[in-house]
Amino acid sequence: MLEDLTITSHQETWLWIGTIGMALGAIAILALGRGLGNHAHHAVASFFVCAIAACFYLLMAFGQGDLIVTAKDLTLTPEGVVGTVEAKLVYFARYIDWVITTPLLLIGLLGVGLAAVNQAGEAVRERTGLVAGVIGADILMIVTGLFGALSLDSTHKYIWFAVSCVFFLGVLYVVWGPVRASAKAQGGEIAALYDKLLYILTVLWFIYPILWLLGTEGTEAISLNAEVTVFAIIDLLAKVGFGLVLVTGVKKLSSAGEKASAAAPAAAAE
């Protein structure tokens, strides 16, 4: 349908809501992240997650973040060329945003769950292995999701969807398996913060493949207008919401840590 190939004013409104929401989120995270000391990297990463998303939402609101994919099925007959041309609108900019920001979100989560380590010993290698593994799987999840979104042929599309889901399961395995075990081993507040972030991330991230399947990339059960609206809301929760919980959680941890180390010399002097 031709109306599915143009950006509607409804979509434009939600893309602007996304832009402004991400920009405000970035500013809020920057303000909250002041005084994080050793943990400032969490505020830096969360700030850039929102700032990057704000730029990509602006790109889409300007109408520069989408493209029309076409597939031609033409045959030459004695009467001339006959055939059909299929076309659909794809917001490709989402995938560029996600391929940069989802690794940063995962680094934030792993930064809480994995214990601080010194330069020597196995822990450094294990930590690097987990970070590299989760980022590799995540990048392939997004890239193969883009390949699926660009496919007009259903077989290709669902094969790419399945491949993307396999990498998604890989990401979930790392964050629910070894990293959660490491967070648990650190105990107390760290384990509690990790679990809170893990639940938020898992619930929100599961919505993406479902929406993809229901939306114009998949079965077209819901309109592009509805899809753009839900993606904007989920994106805001997964980036701004997650970032705020991460930064406030880490802030509490570091102030509790400071109190403990301030109390320690006093206790020793007694």
Which residues in this chain contact ligand RET in the complex, by CB under 6 A?
53, 98, 101-102, 141-142, 145, 148, 161, 164-165, 168, 205, 208-209, 212, 235, 238-239
Q: CB of 242 within 8 A of CB of 197?
A: yes
- Nearest to ligand RET by Cβ — which residue? 145
Identity of the amino acid at 222: I
Q: How far is the CB of 124 from ligand RET (least distance, A)?
A: 28
- CB atoms under 10 Å from CB of 221, counted, come to 11
Q: How far is the CB of 126 from ligand RET (least distance, A)?
A: 25
Q: How far is the CB of 209 from ligand RET (least distance, A)?
A: 4
Q: CB of 249 within 8 A of CB of 190?
A: no
DSSP helix/strand/coil, 88:
strand
The smaller minimum CB distance to ligand RET, of residues 18 and 253, is found at 18
The smaller minimum CB distance to ligand RET, of residues 40 and 163, is found at 163
DSSP helix/strand/coil, 74:
strand
65 CB-near residues (< 8 Å, 6+ apart): 56, 59, 91, 92, 93, 94
The smaller minimum CB distance to ligand RET, of residues 135 and 253, is found at 135
Q: How far is the CB of 222 from ligand RET (least distance, A)?
A: 14
DSSP 8-state class, residue 215: S
What is the distance, to the nearest Å, from the Cα of residue 223 to the centroid of all Cα atoms in its chain?
A: 22
The smaller minimum CB distance to ligand RET, of residues 175 and 193, is found at 175
Q: How far is the CB of 160 from ligand RET (least distance, A)?
A: 8
DSSP helix/strand/coil, 89:
strand
Q: How far is the CB of 116 from ligand RET (least distance, A)?
A: 26
The smaller minimum CB distance to ligand RET, of residues 91 and 194, is found at 91
The smaller minimum CB distance to ligand RET, of residues 11 and 164, is found at 164
Q: CB of 158 within 8 A of CB of 206?
A: no
Q: Closest by alpha carbon to 247, among 23, 18, 49?
A: 49
